[in-house]
Structure 1
């Protein structure tokens, strides 16, 4: 039995967080949102520890040993553990939102294609009933803004760009040509928001393919 497995057995809170991450990975894989080794998933425990997927693993085939602990600066708490290069973006969300309990990052076709088809700094969603899944949304008539940031291998630089708009994000954000970040107070809420956002992006992609007018960006797609 591995050291990591022993630690999980001895810590029910950690075991629950790891199981939530494993289940989320399987669901995201089933929907086609985490191809190959893409994406990452994290949970913040009640005591402040952050459980995060290890770098390089396929999210559809996770087990408890694929979940590692990092601190709020993204530093692994056990020698030899390698977190994702984008760990800092998870930590940024936890640092900015005290109520955030889970963060999900996926690489869907819709998010990738729509964000690459425009140079706009945001995508806009309106007139969809599913918008109500996002915090503060009570009607389909509102317009939900989803910021889009250019992809950057310098994650510290990217996080500074995200920080300028983080407080106003109700539906998460997109890294252009890369994927989405969504969060919530619990894993269930985070998953619901991710599914809501991905559904809306998929609908908009279908509208574009059908030639139906869309206002998802301020410039024509």
Structure 2
């Protein structure tokens, strides 16, 4: 594995982390980010303040979630969710996970339905869905504290055509065939969530 590839992956994660931190998408050190590096994954280290930048923010793991080389750094607690996505959605090259008020509210409002559908919104084009009055349904899974169970449940609902999964009262996972695509998907989902919540409030 080329050192240049690893450094490029770390630089990508650093830029995305800084961008999302400015949006307050990592409250209380929550959230995690990863990108593929050949047959490995560069991922955020656990328990770090994502509003800060240090030389020990990221590490490499294999596709089972184990560190590639000996390190005192601990991978994100939800590394198994990332590896499930990479193993099941083969075109995925980046996976991002954030916690926002809007995605938590939507996941709770529609958690019993196991999904929520958005229709007729311009931002649906961000998912390469171009039909007139297009719709997209993002699945919702329960928030299992046991990470292997959570990863298994997420694996059951993955759909390459819908690059995201909500975890009830937890957050969202998105992915894409590049870091740019994953970021676009996340921004579009968060817009749809925020719009939906505000629209419901206006209608009351």
Normalising by the residue count of structure 2, what TM-score does the alignment of the two structures yield?
Answer: 0.92
Query: In 2 relative to 1, CA 79–26 (structure 1 residues): closer, same or farther, beyond 3 Å?
Result: closer
Deviation at 1:56, TM superposition (A): 0.7
Q: Tell me if 1:186 matches 2:178.
A: yes
Deviation at 1:57, TM superposition (A): 1.0
**What CA deviation, in whole Å up to 9, does each residue of 1:31-86 have, x standing for no partner?**
222112010000101x2121000001122223442101111011122232211111
Query: In 2 relative to 1, CA 140–64 (structure 1 residues): closer, same or farther, beyond 3 Å?
Result: farther
3-state secondary structure, aligned to 1:65: coil
Which blocks of at least 5 consecutive residues in structure 2 are unaligned?
none
Comparing 84-93 and 59-68, the one that deviates more: 59-68
CA contact (8 A) 2:9 2:35 kept: yes
Q: Tell me if 1:98 matches 2:90.
A: yes
Show the counterpart of 2:150.
Answer: 158
Show the counterpart of 1:81.
Answer: 73
Rounded to whole Å, the distance in 1 between the matches of 2:132 and 2:166 is 21
Show the counterpart of 2:109.
Answer: 117
CA contact (8 A) 2:163 2:176 kept: no
Show the counterpart of 2:50.
Answer: 59
2:122 corresponds, among 119, 123, 129, to 129
CA contact (8 A) 1:54 1:83 kept: yes
Show the counterpart of 1:37.
Answer: 29
Deviation at 1:180, TM superposition (A): 0.4
Normalising by the residue count of structure 1, what TM-score does the alignment of the two structures yield?
Answer: 0.86
Deviation at 1:140, TM superposition (A): 5.4
Which blocks of at least 5 consecutive residues in structure 1 are unaligned?
1-9, 213-221
Rounded to whole Å, the distance in 1 between the matches of 2:174 and 2:27 is 17
Comparing 27-36 and 106-115, the one that deviates more: 27-36
Rounded to whole Å, the distance in 1 between the matches of 2:161 and 2:25 is 21
Question: Which protein has the larger Cα radius of gyration, Structure 1 or Structure 2?
Answer: 1
Tell me how large the CA RMSD over aligned residues is. 1.6
**What CA deviation, in whole Å up to 9, does each residue of 1:154-195 have, x standing for no partner?**
111122222222135513010010100000111111101110
3-state secondary structure, aligned to 1:202: helix
